[in-house]
Amino acid sequence: MSREKILAAVKFNQPGANPLPDMEVLNALTDIKTDLISKYKTVATAGGTFVHEVSDFNGIKVILKNDFKPEVKIISALDELSDYIYTDTVKFEDGHSFADVELTILRTNLGVAENGALWLTEKQMGSRVLPFIAQHLAVVIGKDDFVPTMAQAYEVIGDADYGYGSFISGPSKTADIEQSLVIGAHGPRSLSVFILS
Amino acid sequence: MSTATDKHHPQLAADFNRDEPRVNWHDETLWWVRAKRDIAAHKLPEWELLRETASQIKLNVLSNLSAYLEQFEANATKNGVIVHWAQDAAEHNQIVYSLLEQRGISKMVKSKSMLTEECHLNEYLKEQGIDVIDSDLGERIVQLANEPPSHIVLPCIHKKKEEIGDIFHEHLGSAKGESDPKILTETARQHLREVFLTRRAALTGVNFAIAETGEFVICTNEGNADMGAHLAEIHIASMGIEKIIPKRKHLGVFLRLLTRSATGQPITTYSSHFSKPQDGSEIHIVIVDNGRSIQLGREEFRNSLKCIRCGACMNTCPVYRKSGGHSYHTAIAGPIGSILAPNLDMKKYADLPFASTLCGSCSNVCPVKIDIHDQLYKWRQVIVKSGYTPTAKSMAMKAMAITLASPTLYRMGGKTGRLVFKYAPFAVNNKFNPWYNQREMPKAPEQSFGEWYAKRKGAKN
């Protein structure tokens, strides 16, 4: 059987023991908790994300009302934004039924200042395809939910049990044609992030 | 898509060099990507420690690979994922085909996977009547052009937008003469959206597979891997045995290095962690050896298995930039490809370790600190000892060895050379001398150092 043959060949050929490196020094070097929001805003904006600092959910509603026409299909994972279709009511639907979604609104508890990445699990997405298939994506995050780097992000995630999770750091993009950056490849054409104070 | 050619790197590079403005553009564009990598790396004071840590984690992986593979398999299985093992490309392709055939699936969407390029999966499936569409924009472009990717991160970096416009006009119905990247990308978006929504099977590569949890991570900017996988009833993920990392927290090292090294971005748009299948769908992982376990046993070359496929060594390589990815006639081009390919077929790829100036820039930018240029140098020795060098090169080397071993011959050779340069430059400045290609030969000095020294000594006495 191939499995046994591969494992035997690997075992026979692999070098002698080499320990895993200690990551404490590295992680301590990166654990700088100052100006996380301004660092996040700089990186995220450079990556094409629209960042809004809002004081409450009403602030989010005002911006979304301005950006999206009332007749478009919007799915929201937040109780506080109840004018829209709630993810819990559609999460068992087949992913293909979301093909006409204009905007998906999700809530995260973890953002990374160094690279603009926002951690979203399947539970927070409702359905895995929702943050990808929608024409636009909006994510709500609390002002205290930022960590400096990916090192701290994985400390927060720890041994969490999820079926699927993704770090999303901006709108879908490509530079495959002559290295010209084009926003809106296969996923959302925009990412709006609302930082709740 | 394979490069079916009997030509070796020098001839293929010469073909690429016929269009000088294109070579210059290719060279400058890749150097620009390299410069972006530098800016990103220099922003992190801990960059070198990060590289060292990544390198050590990968060394630990290589040392314990069999145990990690078993651990990964056990955890993935616990998560409800089905794991398959393939010793070689043929077995990998056969597994993928049988998964599709059992379900009566004849069309599949595929996101970027260099392993499937290595295995020539697309050609194989086509022969079995399976239609495969590559969903990464660059890969879709080269697929429509009936070419292999020329770069592992930037698959169509050798193509100009006007050529892409022509391809899209022919295959996707964009307006004739349209070459605006925005409009062409939108055309591909509409075309591929239809594909994502109608495919029952999706195949993806794997960037990292975590032994501790059984999950695997796929990084894209376009979101194509996720669109394909989440909308399909079966997701097949193909991975080489070396993609394993021990713990989830180690992603905090590798995800910080990968895109900064690749394109200068701080992270890809999407870093997706697949742990369990969605309700009503399946995830299958095919773990592929295809010569990797042999490379693991080659002490001098095993570090090449640390590679995380960022492409930094290609962007920085003066030979790659000026000869183009297709000149390497293998799935993974550039410096790293030139140390991986001879392991698969030493005779066929005997030219590749010589396609380097050994300047060492590749090793300097490698995020996992692979000693790439040292390995290129070592491969040359293995290849020469195994008798795989081109005849012209071995004859020249033999003549050189005889000359250098004899002071009389050496002096005679030097004198003749200088005379030829002086009185008969056409004898060397011609197309039969490869050193003259794209170069002017230098003026020969009047005398050798030996002659000058003897004269000077005579004058002093």
Average confidence (pLDDT) per 10 residues, chain A, 197 residues: 97 97 94 96 98 97 95 96 92 95 98 98 97 98 98 98 98 96 97 97
Task: Name the residue among B85, B189, B249 with its Cβ closest to that of A6.
Answer: B85
Residue B297 touches chain A, beta carbons under 8 Å: yes
Task: Name the residue among A5, A114, A132 with its Cβ closest to that of B227.
Answer: A132
Task: Name the residue among B136, B186, B270 with its Cβ closest to that of A166.
Answer: B270
Q: Which residues pair with A193 in a beta bridge?
A: A51, A139
Q: Considering only residues B244 and B418, tell me which one the structure prediction assigns the higher pLDDT.
A: B244
Task: Give per-residue burial for A158-185: e unless 16+ CB within 10 Å, then b.
Answer: eeeebbbbbbbbbbbbbbbbbeeebbbb
Instruction: Determine which of A175-179, B114-118, B417-421 has the lowest per-residue pLDDT on average.
Output: B417-421
Q: What are phi and psi of A156, to 5 degrees?
A: -65, -45
Q: Nearest-CA distance from B135 to chain A in Å? A: 9
Q: How far apart are CA B57 and CA B39, in angstroms?
A: 25
User: Quick one: closest CA in A to B193, which residue?
Assistant: A186
Nearest to B195 by CA among B224, B154, B156: B224
Structure tokens, B200: 């029952």
Contact between chains at A150 and B251 (C-beta distance less than 8 A): yes
Label residue B23 by pLDDT band (50, 70, 90): very high
Nearest to A142 by CA among A53, A24, A31, A10: A53
Task: Name the residue among B49, B269, B275 with its Cβ closest to that of A172.
Answer: B269
Residue A42 touches chain B, beta carbons under 8 Å: no
Q: Which residues pair with A103 in a beta bridge?
A: A74, A136
Average pLDDT over residues B385-411: 81
Q: B372 pLDDT exceeds 70?
A: yes
Q: B387 pLDDT exceeds 70?
A: yes
Residues of A within 8 A of B53 (CB-CB) are: 21, 23, 26
Angle at B77 between CA B72 and CA B79, to 5 degrees: 100
Q: Which whole-number Å values give the CA distances from B114 to B86, B121, B359, in the listed order?
A: 16, 10, 26
Residues of A within 8 A of B57 (CB-CB) are: 20-21
Residue pLDDT, tens place only, B299-351: 999 999 999 999 999 999 999 999 999 999 999 999 999 999 999 999 999 99
Label residue B2 by pLDDT band (50, 70, 90): very low
Q: B1 pLDDT exceeds 60?
A: no
The pLDDT, as a whole number, for residue B461 is 63
Strands B107-110 and B131-134: parallel
Element (DSSP H or E) covering residue A75: strand A74-76
Q: What are phi and psi of A47, to 5 degrees?
A: -90, 5
Residue A72 touches chain B, beta carbons under 8 Å: no
Q: What are phi and psi of A30, to 5 degrees?
A: -95, -10
Q: How far apart are CA B108 and CA B126, in angstroms?
A: 11
The pLDDT, as a whole number, for residue B447 is 86
The SS3 call for residue A170 is: coil
Average pLDDT over residues B223-230: 98
Residue pLDDT, tens place only, B146-187: 999 999 999 999 999 999 999 999 999 999 999 999 999 999
Strands B208-210 and B244-245: parallel
B306 close to B370: Cβ distance less than 8 angstroms? yes
A152 close to B156: Cβ distance less than 8 angstroms? no
Contact between chains at A26 and B49 (C-beta distance less than 8 A): yes
Residues of B within 8 A of A159 (CB-CB) are: 213, 248
Contact between chains at B263 and A175 (C-beta distance less than 8 A): yes
The pLDDT, as a whole number, for residue B434 is 67
Q: B219 pLDDT exceeds 50?
A: yes
A20 CB contacts (<8 Å, ≥6 apart)?
Answer: B56, B57, B60, B246
Residue B182 touches chain A, beta carbons under 8 Å: yes
Q: Nearest-CA distance from A109 to chain B in Å? A: 17
Q: How far apart are CA B32 and CA B154, in angstroms?
A: 13
Average pLDDT over residues B61-70: 98
Q: B436 pLDDT exceeds 80?
A: no
Q: Give the B window 34-73 contacts with A, CB below 8 Å.
A: 45-46, 49-50, 52-53, 56-57, 59-60, 62-66, 69-70
CB atoms within 10 A of CB B420: 14
Percent of chain B with pLDDT over 90: 83
Q: Nearest-CA distance from B246 to chain A in Å? A: 9
B378 CB contacts (<8 Å, ≥6 apart)?
Answer: B300, B301
Average pLDDT over residues B434-441: 68
Q: Give the A window 96-125 contacts with B, CB below 8 Å.
A: 96, 99, 112, 114-117
The SS3 call for residue B307 is: coil
The pLDDT, as a whole number, for residue B415 is 82
The pLDDT, as a whole number, for residue B437 is 67
B313 close to B362: Cβ distance less than 8 angstroms? yes
Mean pLDDT of chain B: 94
